[in-house]
Amino acid sequence: MFNLSLTACSFHLRKTNSRGNTKIFNLNMSLTLQKEDGTECYFQDLSEIFVQFFKTHESLVKDDNKQQSFRCEYNEDNILENDDFRMFYTRIYSGVYGSSSDIIDGNTQKVKYKKKSSDIDTRPFYLMVVFPKDSERVVVQKGLFIFQNVGQFGVKTITTTLMQEFFSNGFHITLKCNTISSDLFVKKIIRQDNIKKLVMVKNIKSSDTSDNVRKGYGSEIREIGNLYFTEKMWSRMMDIIRYVAGGRYNLFEFEQIEYDNLKVVVDIGGRTRKINLHNLENLSIIEAIPDEIKMADGHPNLKMLIEHFTKVATEYLEEMVLHIG
């Protein structure tokens, strides 16, 4: 049976084709936006533009290039609120098509159904959109997406791609997704029990300056696997990893040699992921959902999932910088 997991990232909205941080929208502000056809839409806050996206995509959408389907199921009651944030959720149905296959009984091995290339193997997923509340200290510009996955299947890419098209084409708004915080990403993704390899890169420059134009002269790559750490060694390694991740130009020193780039190879739910610690800006956090939330059919118990995502949102928001401009 597939394991459940979540994918989380921050998001913000800015005016399309704007530069710098002058055209980033405050999420909780009321505003009037002009659509492509010249009509105006009033929003009490920008959560309503997401609701409009969900309602617009209640009918099936098919991406024939990626051979993936998408539709939303949203209810006005799908909203939760506490002192720190509002969280609203939608159920997304998505699946793949384009190739035929046989559906067999796992016990008898007999064919129960012959799937045609036009048939869509559809699964339900949940998306939680979190809007932090303004406070005396901060006007909120960044929110939080939490996607629920089933095994290797998820809907983050197709959902955010369709959102970007909808916001841009309809309202001249650009949706940007980023990591929540580099330190939280490191803490959640890189652990002593799942780190498999270090990949260190040292840029080699020629003494002849003409060799160093554009892409430079070359690089030396060193890999170390079969890693073992004592608790003390791991604490020291995590300090180093956090330091490297904290700045694009922070060097990694190993055996008295300074390396320009450090990548770590980790195992996440049986899947290998190579992470460039100097480029965490656009990476999402992926972590397991507790087994007790999974029902007999392999999908989550909604009430328990909401409770878990509320807890996760509270933890993640403590690490987020909520204002950009």
What backbone torsions phi and psi does residue 277 show, to the nearest 5 degrees?
A: -70, -15
CA distance 55 to 264: 41
Reference 122, options 73, 56, 50; nearest CA is 73
In a 3-state reduction of DSSP, which class is residue 85? Answer: strand
Distances (CA, A) of 143 to 48, 120, 133, 172: 13, 32, 10, 19
CA distance 288 to 312: 11
Q: 260, exposed or middle or buried, with CB in 10 Å at 0-12, 13-18, 19+?
A: middle
CA distance 111 to 102: 6
Residue 1, pLDDT score: 43
CA distance 121 to 161: 21
Residue 154, pLDDT score: 93
Task: Give me the tens of pLDDT residue by residue for the chain, a chain 325 residues long.
Answer: 458 999 999 999 999 887 767 789 999 999 888 777 778 889 999 999 999 999 999 999 998 888 899 999 999 899 999 999 999 999 999 988 888 887 887 788 787 888 888 878 889 999 999 999 999 999 999 999 999 999 888 999 999 999 999 999 999 999 999 999 989 999 889 999 899 999 999 887 655 555 555 555 578 899 999 888 899 999 999 999 999 888 878 889 888 888 999 999 998 877 788 999 988 988 899 999 999 999 999 999 999 999 999 999 999 999 999 999 7
Q: How many other C-beta atoms lie within 10 A of the C-beta of residue 46?
A: 23
CA distance 321 to 188: 17
Residue 10, pLDDT score: 97
